[in-house]
Amino acid sequence: MQRSDRAGVGRAVLLALALLLAGFPAGMRARARSPEGPVEYGAIDAPLSAPMRIVVLPFRVHSADTLDFLAGELDVLLAQRIEAGGEVSAVAWRDFVKGAGSGRFDAGRFDDDPSDPDSTSADRSDRALQKLAREAGFDAVVSGSLTELAERFSLDIRVVPADRGGAATSLVLAAGSDRELLDRLGELAERISSAVKGGTPDRIVGIRFEGADSLEADLKGKLAVHRGGIFDPVQAEADRRAMAADPRVANATLRTIPVEGGVELVYKILPAQRILGEEVRVGSRLQVAEVVIRGNKRVDEDAIRARIHTAEGRPYDATQIARDVRAIFAQGFFRDVQVLAEETPLGLRVIFEVEENPVVREIAVSGNDEIDADKIKEALTLTTGAPLDYPLLRENTERVKALYRSEGYYLAKVAYEIEEISDGSVAVNFVVDENEKLKLRAIEFEGNEAFSDRELREGFSTKLWRFYSFATSWFDRSGTYSEPIFLRDLRLVEKKYADNGYVQARVGEPEVTANEEGLFLKVQIVEGPQYRVGKLTLEGDDTIDLEALRKKIRLDEGEVFNRSDLTSDVEVLESHYTDRGFFFANVNPITRTDPDELTVDVQFVVEKGPLYFVRNIDIHGNTRTVDSVIRREVRLVEGELYSARALQISKFRIRRLGFFEDVAFEPNTTEDPSELDLDVNVVERPTGAFSFGAGFSSADSFIFTASLSQSNLFGRGYGANISADIGGRSSRFFISLTDPYFLGSTFSFNTTAFLTQVRFNDFEQDQQGVEIAFGHPLTVDNRASVSLRYGFSERRVTQNTNLNALAAPISRQVLQGRQSTSRIGLSLGIDTRNDRFAPTSGYAASGTIEYAGLGGFSRFLSIEGRAGYFFGAPDWLFERSTFVISARAGFALPFNHVSDFDLAVQGSTICANPSNCMNAGNLDQIDDDIRLPLTERYFMGGLGTTRLRGYKGRSVGPRRPELRFTDLGSGRVYHPVGTRLISNPATGQLSTLCDDTRTSGNFGNGNGRCNSLGDKRIDDFDDIDEAQVIGGSSFISTSLEYRFPISEQIGLMGFGFVDGGNAFVEDDVLFDVTHWRYGYGGGVLWFSPFGPLQLVLGFPIDPRSDEQSPVFEFSVGALGI
């Protein structure tokens, strides 16, 4: 099936991005140079041990589709990836020839014609490549082919050393897509670097022939390789080619079989007599009358004919017949090919009799206990339905071994068994002997003086086995050695040296020692001297202010040279130009090392290119959202200079809307060399949601919830939401509308109407109201904003069952009845988190100041603030886990007085003089310092705004004794529950007597203990169960939290926490930590379709007798900070 042009363009763009990333930081490819001349950074050689140099040839392509978009630059990309590794210097063939400039080498020498199966523009045999490497001055040559079948890719690599005695290495990289192929080139580059630097050579354990018959003795005597010698793939291939050139041999193939102690060579010989037939005379000039293909069952006849050049009407040529046989064998589909020639009246009938390789119908794995079979099969490139390929089979055996080594099973052995299950079909079984898993015991560095072993291991993903690893290895993989991961860790070592001035430092390959105690790693390091920054200059732009430049970049003359700072400086300088209209601006850092002064001079070479203006901005893909909603987020205007930063900010702003699955900006050049067209491509996502559900809440018992929302109403960016939560203890109804650009301005508008009814333990609160808000961003990326809001609400606190057993502030609120609050507030906020729901870095902070008193009952001034800081956890903890430090605080200055409350009851004239009443009094005299209305006070505990986990909701804060009242002829008198009034006949004074029994009817709990009106602190109360939380006029809540992912697929996270804080009454000290309460615990977060859901199990520290432990809570809604 042919791919669409659009797919080809997409892949070309993908490849271009990959090339850009491979060549960056900032075009740091090595160039041929003399030791004294200028070099680009990245090509600084250590004088003690210069890196080996290799050249990458263009790849041959085998595919039914054109892969020019991929193959055309694959050699360049691979060379750049090898070069970026820093172990080996690499260059693509075409770049080498262009740089050599002598005309000695042909740039197109290795360009094959994919339309011609027999096209061989240059000899790619190992011997020829060895000769090429020596002539061109390279240590090795990398050659290979790219094969695409059913949209799966295989990159077959041959690494041929220049040394005649060196062993060539074959490598295979399989990928399920072109994107995966490009992503894994770095892995292949590391394998090539390792192969070039060499290893222990294999020995030839045995040599045998198949099918040679009477020719075997003669052919064996001509071999240059011999049993017991070092295996030289180049010489072995030369022997095969020599046998194939023998006129008695039609075809010769070679395969190597890894065996214990080395390799076995198997030469398969097809005698010419067998395929040509005895009745045909050598050198006969008979005409070919007919060419017949026989024996093919699955392979199409046309595919075979495309490989052969013997054709009707041509003279019969035995040499061409032999080439045809080799071409058919090269397809890899056949185990045997014979040629028969029959004389007919019209000439010779040439018959190619083929025998196809069996097809793999089943792939199984046995003996695997520690690694799942599915995981092993994912590592295989052998697939069912494909012809059996022995080299691929052996390569897959090595893949399985590598997988086991990556999991720490260095003693694992893998073999394969082939079972014929039907005619032409086989089953392949990989047999695994896992043996014991070896634990990584030590990582030792040799040659390091500037840094200790411990410092070099900082940030490693590879971790040693420790005594505690029995409990942690399941998530931190401590004690497991995986070579790919460790090689990546060594890149951190290289970075540490390069960032501390050791530009010539070299980090060797790990030496692995395995014994019964475990695995031991040793890494050789050559540090070299420490270099400092020499002269900093800029070339290519005479207009720039050099002093201003020095303030922008991190490198500073005389300071220790830092490679990461150089990379950052290149990015800063390129941004300086691309933000000013230079679309194609490029900055290349050229470095000169001075080994005498130990300095690195850096010259930034600027290629500004032309200025570009934005001509047209076109939006595509918005099937629902109107253009203006997107355009108002774009920070570029048609007709102004192009800016890369404005483009980046625009993309962020559009993504932040939440209306689109994907947002992409595509600048396109136009016929005018000074103008660009900007395409904005978006993919719409559903923005409406309807949800409903039922469940059980720790606060509301059974609860039903429903919500209808649309964040892009009418496609114009309006937001609308209607929600209802109905539970056993509460009912909440909300409706809100939002316009982010009110009346076309840059101000946002929001209005919300609400109706709530909540039943607490001691009273019930009803509330209804409306709120409107205007907001405006303070930064172009909308991370900071300010808002002004006004709200009006009416609240009523009721206690229908018993007006006794309430604290004085609560009783006053109940008697007051309905009250209104009119408030205006100003809020300021900033949010730099990298994710709104599950951030791993950044911070969020907000502050609000409100004044209530523009009418209504409540009068106060409040200030509230909250902040949270998110930072990544150390590597030895869960991957992508995060620590969160957060704090919330609030303070309200009340302007109400107790006299403002309409109590609707007559106080006793006796207690009008407080000295006449002991432990009793009128309601307006008790706790008259509590002036902030109950509905505005802060109650701590549980989840929510005033969070203090480990405690039940609204259970933490200042308390006051519960009161009962006694109606006298002189009026109503309040006194603590459990007491009764007594009168002194002589003085007329009233006092109380504790009579807290179950039969006394004094509203106490019957435990015989009573509180006093003057009790305020927790230690003052004789009976804490008869004291009520009345909330504070100020509060503080702090938290340290650790979050870790459980399942990123379903959005499930775990967390542990320590919380601290409390609420305080008027005139108390907010930051008196001796009066704080603390809790700890853990829980899970699930980002469900209904919003974030929290389940928390908390424990209070030093709980009191009336406090529950543990406390389980859960909630659905915003997480806050």
Per-residue pLDDT of 161-197, as tens digits, reads 887 656 677 777 777 677 677 777 777 887 788 777 7
Residues 548-560 have pLDDT tens digits of 777 888 888 999 9
Q: How far is CA 71 from CA 67, 154, 155, 182, 484, in A?
A: 6, 12, 11, 11, 26
Q: Tell me the C-alpha distance between 950 and 343, whole Å.
A: 98
Residues 485-499 have pLDDT tens digits of 888 899 899 999 999
Q: Among 127-141, 236-250, 890-904, 999-1013, name the one with the lowest average pLDDT.
A: 236-250
At the topology level, CATH places domain 360-433 in Ubiquitin-like (UB roll) (3.10.20)
60 vs 489 pLDDT, higher one: 489
Residues 294-338 have pLDDT tens digits of 988 878 888 889 889 898 988 888 878 888 888 888 777 787 888
Among candidate residues 165, 280, 320, 295, the one with its CA nearest the CA of residue 230: 165
Q: Among 371-385, 678-692, 820-834, name the one with the lowest average pLDDT.
A: 678-692
Q: Tell me the C-alpha distance between 270 and 213, whole Å.
A: 9
Going by pLDDT thresholds of 50, 70 and 90, the confidence category of residue 49 is very low
Where in the chain are all domains bearing CATH 3.10.20.310? 204-271, 277-356, 360-433, 440-526, 532-607, 613-684
Query: Which pTM does this prediction carry?
Result: 0.56
**Which CATH code is given to the segment(s) 277-356?**
3.10.20.310
Going by pLDDT thresholds of 50, 70 and 90, the confidence category of residue 1082 is very high
Q: What's the pLDDT at 27?
A: 36
- Classify strands 599-607 and 532-539 as parallel, antiparallel or unpaired: parallel
Q: Tell me the C-alpha distance between 522 and 397, whole Å.
A: 27
Number of H helices, E strands in the chain: 21, 48
Going by pLDDT thresholds of 50, 70 and 90, the confidence category of residue 156 is confident
Going by pLDDT thresholds of 50, 70 and 90, the confidence category of residue 10 is very low
Q: What's the pLDDT at 774?
A: 95
> Quick check: 284 pLDDT over 70?
no
381 vs 799 pLDDT, higher one: 381
CATH classification (class only), 613-684: alpha beta
> Quick check: 114 pLDDT over 60?
no
Q: Where are the alpha helices (DSSP H) in 817-877?
A: none
Among candidate residues 594, 546, 586, the one with its CA nearest the CA of residue 570: 586
**Which CATH code is given to the segment(s) 532-607?**
3.10.20.310
Question: Which element (helix H / strand E) includes 236?
Answer: helix 233-245
Highest mean pLDDT among 41-55, 419-433, 1027-1041, 1073-1087: 1027-1041
Phi/psi at 871 (5° precision): -145, 150
Q: Tell me the C-alpha distance between 772 and 739, whole Å.
A: 12
Where in the chain are all domains bearing CATH 3.40.50.10070? 5-197
Q: What's the pLDDT at 857?
A: 92
How is residue 793 written in tokens? 């609400």
> Quick check: 969 pLDDT over 60?
yes
- Yes or no: say if 31 and 110 are a contact pair by the CB < 8 Å rule: no
List of residues 6+ apart from 59 with CB closer than 8 A: 71, 74, 75, 144, 145, 146, 155
List of residues 6+ apart from 372 with CB closer than 8 A: none
List of residues 6+ apart from 1034 with CB closer than 8 A: 889, 890, 891, 892, 938, 1063, 1064, 1068, 1070
Q: Tell me the C-alpha distance between 952 and 531, whole Å.
A: 61
- Yes or no: say if 538 and 604 are a contact pair by the CB < 8 Å rule: yes
826 vs 265 pLDDT, higher one: 826
Mean pLDDT of 77-104: 75
CATH classification (class only), 5-197: alpha beta
Going by pLDDT thresholds of 50, 70 and 90, the confidence category of residue 888 is very high
The fourth-level CATH superfamily of domain 204-271 is membrane protein fhac (3.10.20.310)
Going by pLDDT thresholds of 50, 70 and 90, the confidence category of residue 221 is confident
Q: Among 164-173, 242-251, 993-1002, 1061-1070, name the one with the lowest average pLDDT.
A: 164-173
Looking at the DSSP bridge assignments, the partners of residue 1079 are 1059, 1100
Q: What's the pLDDT at 771?
A: 95
> Quick check: 1042 pLDDT over 90?
yes
pLDDT averaged over every residue in the chain: 82
> Quick check: 845 pLDDT over 90?
yes
> Quick check: 799 pLDDT over 80?
no
**Exposed e or buried b per residue across 185-215, where buried means at least 16 C-beta atoms within 10 angstroms of its C-beta:** bbebbbbbbbbbebeeebebbebebebbeeb
Going by pLDDT thresholds of 50, 70 and 90, the confidence category of residue 824 is very high
372 vs 277 pLDDT, higher one: 372
**Which CATH code is given to the segment(s) 440-526?**
3.10.20.310
